[in-house]
Amino acid sequence: MAENYGNLRRTDEGPVTTVALARPEARNALDAAIIGEITRCFEDLAEDESVRVVVLTGEGPAFCAGADVGYMRETGGFSYEKNLEDARRLADMFLALDDLPKPIVARVRGAAIGGGAGLVAAADVAVVEEATQFAFSEVRLGIAPATIAPFVVRKIGYSHARALFLTGERFNGGRAREIGLVHEVVPERDLDSAVERVVTQLLQGGPAAQAAIKELLRSGS
C-alpha cells in the first residue's frame, strides 16, 4: 500500500516502509502541517503489523533544513499558551518516532539542520552522504533547542551537545559519526546500497525482540 499525505510520501514495499519528507521546494523544512503529518504517519506505522522497518528520508537536495522560516515568524506572534501548545506538538512528533516499536533508518543527504538533526537523533540507525551538513542552529535564531534536546543528548552525550548547542556551528558527516549522531558515512553513489544493507540486517532480527530492545533502552535512559 502507498499512502500520500500533503507533505509526506509513504511507500510500502513488503515489510519496509519509506517515509519521505516531501517539501523539496522548502528543503523539507518543518511547519505545522508537516509536523502533524509526521506524527500521524508514525502513529499509524506503530499500529501496522505488516511494517517491520521504516526508512526516513527527504525528497530533493536536503533531508530537512529545520524550522520553516515563515512558520517561525508566525509563531513569534503567538501567545505564551499558543507557543506552549505548538512546542508540545513538535515534542509529540519526536516522541512518535522514538516510541515506534520498529527500527527507523535515517537516509540523510544534503543538510540536516535544527529539527532535521533532531530527526536524525530520534532514528535508530543513521546512514548519511559524506557531504551532508549538520547544525543545531537554534541559538543563532535566539531560541533554545528544547524539544530535540532529550533525543540529541541521549545520542551524542552532554559534552558534545553543550558545545554544539551553544555555538550553533555546522559540521559534516565525518564529525557527526565521531560524536555518535550517525553510524555510517558514505559517498553519495553508495547511499542507497548502504541503507539497503542496514535494512537487510534489521530484517534478520525478531520484531518482538526489536520492540523490546527499544523499550528497554528508553526505560534505561
Buried b / exposed e over 72-81, threshold 16 CB at 10 Å, is: eeebeeeeee
Written as nine digits, the cell of 172 is: 559534516
pLDDT one digit per residue (tens) for the chain, 221 residues: 445 689 999 999 999 999 999 999 999 999 999 999 999 999 999 999 999 999 999 999 999 999 886 666 676 777 888 878 888 999 999 999 999 999 999 999 999 999 999 999 999 999 999 999 999 999 998 989 999 999 999 999 999 999 999 999 999 999 999 999 999 999 999 999 999 999 999 999 999 999 999 999 998 76
Full strand arrangement of the beta sheet holding 125-129? 2-4, 8-13, 16-21, 53-58, 104-108, 125-129, 184-186
Inter-residue contact 122 to 149 (CB < 8 Å) = no
Mean pLDDT rounded to a whole number for the chain? 94
Residue 87's pLDDT is 83
Residue 3's pLDDT is 58
Q: What is the dihedral of CA 135, 130, 174, 56, to 10 degrees?
A: 60
Helix intervals (H) in the chain: 32-47, 69-75, 80-98, 115-122, 149-156, 158-167, 173-178, 191-203, 207-220
Residue 1's pLDDT is 45
Residue 77's pLDDT is 74
CA distance 202 to 110: 25
